[in-house]
Amino acid sequence: MVLNASWEPYRVVHWQRAVLLLMGGKIEVLDSYNQIVRSPSLALQVPSVVRMKKFVVPKRRNPIVRFSRQHVFLRDDHRCQYCRNVFPAKELTLDHVVPVVRGGKKTWSNIVTCCADCNQRKGARTPAEAGFSGFRPPREPEHGFIPDLLLLKEKVPQSWRPFLEHLSLFQTKTA
Ligand SMILES: [Zn+2]
């Protein structure tokens, strides 16, 4: 995991890329795995957390933010955005907030996680028309890094955690 010079998580890269950055003097290593990589000229512990020496301005719309069913479920915490209940992925579907027949697009800001019951109840109506009060329109994830982390959420290495604890994503949920 690469942190920006500001200590914010920046991106996830393959360890080989991290070694190249290290050779280029671009990063400092904050933590390493136990594995050692060897080449004829060096032996090195595989870095697990590194930090850019210079601040990199993150791209506003990072192409890493891929729109996918799984990413939408993860963004919404597997919670139906209408009844607010949590379901396993196989019981969830995607719903167009503004229905397709009314020009609703398949985008981050128009697609939400939805359970089968709510999906049926909503039909081709807007949330307000279907009587779903308290519905909040979805947003596109602002940071390309977040989907990477979401996918890794269950298997994030221990050494990364101290640098992620401030993200609500990684705070232990109660109830
Ligand atoms: Zn529901």
CA of residue 116 to ligand 1 center, whole Å:
7
Q: How far is ligand 1, taken at its centre, from the CA of residue 105, in Å?
A: 21
Mean pLDDT of each 10-residue bin along the chain, 175 residues long: 87 88 95 90 91 84 66 86 95 96 93 96 95 88 58 71 70 47
Residue 158's pLDDT is: 81
Tell me the two tokens of residue 63: 């192409």
Name the strands in the sheet holding 2-3, side by side, starting at the edge strand that comes first in the sequence: 9-11, 2-3, 42-52, 27-39
pTM over 0.75: no
Ligand 1 centroid from CA 133, angstroms: 12
**What is the 127 CA–ligand 1 centroid distance (Å)?**
12
